[in-house]
Structure 1
């Protein structure tokens, strides 16, 4: 009866029983009339009115629908979004016998996922020339279940966003509690007004509170139903006092129409969408939306907080935030979706989106930080010890203007007679000679955890004790000085073999308080130190010429290392800039010569750290 040019008889078929000449349609109408159960029917509300002249008895059908099912108490219909253009109700004889009829459309969402059901629709009646409001089949079924008048006991306000079913019965006349024998309340959540309020949008759509995916509700194939009906006398009792939905389910076969729509739980037959919608109404388990303005405020605030937070925290804190966001997402989703109020909120979605952006940001940041670490290591390792590099990596805020007062040991070295030597060599030979000397001396300072401050021509300034803390800075400086003397002797042999002038050096070492830190301007700064301790160290390097020694240390350094070095007292001198005389010593050797190897940082280890 419901679709096709021929019905297997000599009569032409109207898909919805367009003529009284169809015997099957008449038989259906007579069966409904003789039945003692409530029978409802659905019909399409078409989005185009092009077929209006092709439907038999179309005006009579409209008149019957209007007189029986048009909702009278409607407010702000002019604000509703009109989407239906032509009602196509069942043919009049069947329509008169039905206990209710409503459209069964499922509107396609732009996302492709259906999560709403249109319960009411504003319809511009082509015969009355006015806006009228009609119910969907799910609202008709709910009204019949509650025992209310479809026309008078239902009110709609499109601007306020609700449908109200009034005058709901106190109890169910057919369902009783087995223990108390009292009627079971017909309302899942009773109230004094005996009113069920359904939230809708301006299209008349209600959010469906889905209870799961496919097959949440018991289902039977038509042939299976008829077969068991014939074989089991009590089979029909399974459907007593139940709402039974009859429609095409999951049809198979090539070319077969498939009434399947995508839901939040995956593909689902259209009848299942209606079952979930009806279940939402009868359980009064409505999902509601937070106003869009609130959603927008939440998104903006979260975005601003993330923008403020991210640049100010290390990567591990970002990972911690990501974990917190995942936990918050799961928790808020459970609360908002499955909680008492079933609120549809942007917050969980916003958290998930921000989490996705955060993961991408953390990945980018980790890669950037890795490149920055390599750059810092490769750049600074040429001038400072690996300890200094690690200090800079661990505390990047230390690379700012300013300094602090610390006790440390300062080191000065200078080449003796360099001016005379430079006059004997050509520019290329001089540069090669100086590079060989400076390269070896620099490596030794770095090997013993020293920091190269600067080069002043052929002179080197270095220090120990900052920025990486080293409580034994005086001894490390002395060990580095002795290592330089030994290395210089090997270089001198090499230079002699090449018949080029031999370099000799003087070293001055002093220990005491000095101000150390980044000095200069915001555009250019140097990590250096200043103070009387620095000045005295420089004077001691010059004194080595006077006393004919390679290494001279002050009494302040000597007091910290005297048990571990061999030293000879030279004199009590008053250097320029100091009022009090200072006792000076020649550093001659180490008590434990193994410290030359024991305290040395492996160059291979430093190279490996740079590569990492």
Structure 2
């Protein structure tokens, strides 16, 4: 048992070590990451604030706007009008463009005028009209003029694979030494696409809206707040919009340097602290699915159908919910969320200071938790039952989930998958090990005792292996012998095949009765069954169960008579003897053959008692020791005898039946016989004979006539030849 437990502990320790190493940056286990993402998504959905946050409004390029204003991209005169309407009419706080204007707005009329000008037409009226028309058709210039000097953030895109530099790029918000830049895990794009020069010059703020940190399964869980291009930090669209919203506060980067490890742990924007991971990304603090922010159609804004209060002092992002414009993102909270809402969630998360983060000490905490949980599961479960192991494991998981959820609500992210997987793996080991060990024990018990004891008792023995032994022991047991009466004459009347069939049909149901009463089959001796109670499992009711089995065996034999008669077989009757006492029990025999059996004087007495059933004309006899140990039956005292080979006398009794099955008339008859027996022992022969003759003449029960005749014959013999002086009523039997 100790060796088995040691092997289990070694396996559990290996699991702890594996999960411990998997949690460190040394190795990456894909399945662990997958489970972590799944559980984290569940945690996020459970704790989302829900509701609509109207601090950020989506100016929606929806299908209705496209039908009314034309196919996207619109000419920039429309966008200029949109900008003017937003700031002049609605007085918004900030406007962000979730688009990039990387190419000039080439209007066909403007190009025609420039071609005509190249012909150098010398006509004052034409020149004046041409200049006026070109001013009206210079949409980029009109758009540039509308955004200049206003709180506007334009979009741009970095490229991780293509080194092309399209248009200009704003100066970085800060720079870092090249040696340090190489050591960081922040995205380092090699190219970009910016806005055309006239628009680039018109605004002081630009932010990227690409995401190089999409999860392996394609979901937007994390988004970088900055990327590192040529050693300079450039902000995301969400970060740039937030800075505009709080009044162009300064950035401050908290850079941690530990040996070769360099990471930006947080960004400070004015009084706002924004925690980031080693890639400069934030976990998107989703409020809910699509519709967490108000959407207002651009056409309604342009037509001034929207109440001013709905937009005044709001942060507005121009984006699209139209599927055709392909700005739909897969997220943990919505499989088709407009990308503009990702920016909105980050902005409100920064403003509310609810960006979840993993502190620098998180790894140490997680590794400590893994060690503590692993050791708890490994040690405690060794001393618990399967049910208690399940309860303990469930409690441990619940406590950890509550702790993790509490920390999450404080904005601290601690891994879920590693500790939970550790607990479940050790739980599976304990349960499987218990199952395998139980199975092995069961197989061993079946192998050792299956031929002796019933299946139900085998199951109990499996649950109490400490009680099981095949070594010789001395115990108080009850032994039973059952023998077919007149078997020799029966065997002479049947063929060998019929005799074998009769024995099988006879012994099988009787064996089942013994098994039902939790008895152990010792052996079959020809037509005799030997069984005992109280081993291999200790049983304080061994005598009662033995007597009950004997009565049920007699009843079973009666039921068998009809089937035997139908086959033309002779009637079969049995005699049963039981004794209770100290016996040696265990595996006995030689190195060639062993048997689990009982030995001793008490066993021999049981065999002798069975032999007396023929002489007293009764089917079931027990000794006084069995009677004392099984008081819940009605007994008839038969005699006090010395059996062959024994010096000490013993009282023997017929078991009449269970107490509640014996009629009052039969009880009176038994009392009369007991009175006759007392008179017989007092050598009051005539008085005893009167009672016996009276019992013989009663028509109710003729089953004990042989018994009455025995005592009447003895009385006649003793009257002719009186017993010795101080005779105590003991009768000595000289045969088995």
With structure 1 as the length reference, what TM-score do the two structures score? 0.68
Q: Distance in 2 between matches of 1:122 and 1:231?
A: 40
CA deviation after TM superposition for structure 1 residue 42, in Å: 1.7
Residues 514 and 534 of structure 1 are in contact (CA less than 8 Å); yes or no, is this contact kept in structure 2?
Answer: yes
- Provide the C-alpha distance between the structure 1 equivalents of 2:104 and 2:431, rounded to a whole number of angstroms: 69
- What does residue 276 of structure 2 align with? 199
The 10-residue stretch of structure 1 (483-492 or 21-30) with the greater mean CA deviation from structure 2: 483-492
Are residue 161 (structure 1) and residue 231 (structure 2) matched? no
In the other structure, the counterpart of 1:78 is 182
Matches within 5 A, 1:25-174: 25-33=140-148, 35=149, 37-49=150-162, 51-52=164-165, 55=166, 58=167, 61-62=168-169, 65-66=170-171, 69-72=173-176, 76-81=180-185, 82-107=187-212, 108-124=214-230, 131-145=231-245, 153-154=252-253, 156-157=255-256, 159-162=261-264, 164-165=266-267, 168=270
Query: Does the CA-based 8 Å contact 2:576-2:621 persist in structure 1?
Result: yes
Higher relative CO (Cα under 8 Å, sequence separation at least 6) belongs to: 2
2:523 counterpart SS class: strand
- CA shift, 1:83, in A, is 4.7
Q: After the TM superposition, which residues 192-271 of structure 1 pair with which residues of structure 2 at under 5 Å, given as runs?
A: 196=273, 198-201=275-278, 203-228=279-304, 232=307, 235=308, 238-246=310-318, 248-252=319-323, 255-264=324-333, 266-271=335-340
Alignment-derived partner of residue 607 in structure 1: none
Distance of aligned partners of 1:330 and 1:266 in 2 relative to their CA distance in 1, 3 Å threshold: farther
- Report SS of the residue matched to 2:331: strand
- Provide the alpha-carbon RMSD of the alignment: 5.2
| Alignment map for 1:278-293 (pairs within 5 Å) | 278-289=347-358, 291=362
Counterparts of 1:75 and 1:106, CA distance in 2: 25
Q: SS of the residue aligned with 2:294?
A: coil
* Counterpart contact for 1:409–1:474, Cα < 8 Å: yes
The match for 1:587 is: 654
Query: Between Structure 1 and Structure 2, how many residues are aligned?
Result: 532
Provide the C-alpha distance between the structure 2 equivalents of 1:312 and 1:528, rounded to a whole number of angstroms. 35
Structure 1 residues 489-548: Cα deviation after superposition (integer angstroms, max 9, x where no partner): 776787688676776655331123457689999xx9987656654454245445667888
Please give the alpha-carbon distance, in whole angstroms, between the structure 2 residues aligned to 1:32 and 1:494.
109
**Match of 1:16?**
101
Alignment-derived partner of residue 128 in structure 1: none
Structure 1: distance between partners of 2:292 and 2:568? 97
Counterparts in 2 of 1:320 and 1:527: CA distance versus 1, 3 Å: farther
- Distance, in Å, in 2 between the alignment partners of 1:591 and 1:218 is 86
Change over 3 Å in CA distance of 1:365–1:408 after alignment to 2: closer
* Structure-2 residue corresponding to 1:510: 579
Seen in structure 2, the aligned counterparts of structure 1 residues 163 and 452 have a Cα distance that, compared at 3 Å, is: closer
SS of the aligned residue for 1:244 comes to strand
Cα drift, residue 443 of structure 1: 3.5
Moved more, 319-328 or 84-93: 319-328
Q: Is the 8 A contact 1:453 1:462 kept in 2?
A: yes
Deviation string 1:447-494 (CA, Å, 9 cap, x unpaired) is 555443333443322234567887664355335435545655776787
The answer to whether 1:413 aligns with 2:482 is yes
Larger radius of gyration: 2
* 8 Å Cα contact 1:250/1:260 also seen in 2: no
CA pair 480-94 structure 1, distance change in 2 beyond 3 A: closer
Aligned equivalent of 2:528: 459
Once residues 365 and 301 of structure 1 are traced to their aligned partners in structure 2, the CA distance between those partners, rounded to angstroms, is: 23
1:527–1:272 CA distance, 2 compared to 1 (3 A): farther
* Structure 1 stretches lacking a partner, 5+ long: 125-130, 169-186, 189-195, 597-612
Residues 333 and 348, structure 1, Cα contact 8 Å, conserved in 2: no
Q: Does the CA contact (< 8 Å) of 1:496 and 1:502 recur in 2?
A: yes
- Once residues 551 and 38 of structure 1 are traced to their aligned partners in structure 2, the CA distance between those partners, rounded to angstroms, is 109
2:129 counterpart residue number: none
Report if aligned partners of 1:544, 1:552 keep a CA contact under 8 Å in 2.
yes
Distance (whole Å) between structure 2 residues aligned to residue 3 and residue 533 of structure 1: 108
- Aligned partners of 1:198, 1:270: CA distance in 2, in Å? 22
Aligned pair in 2 of structure 1 residues 390, 356: CA closer, same or farther (>3 Å)? closer
Distance in structure 1 (CA, Å) of the matches to 2:226 and 2:382: 50
Q: 1:360 to 1:381 in 2, by over 3 A?
A: same
Structure holding more helix per residue? 2
Is the 1:554–1:582 contact (alpha carbons within 8 Å) kept by the matching residues of 2? no
Query: Which whole-Å CA distance do the structure 1 matches of 2:238 and 2:569 have between them?
Result: 104
Partner-residue secondary structure (3-state), 2:296:
coil
* 1:265-290, Cα deviation, whole Å (9 max, x unpaired): 54322121112222232333232237
Q: Distance in 2 between matches of 1:105 and 1:440?
A: 82
Contact 2:374-2:422 within 8 A present in 1 as well:
no
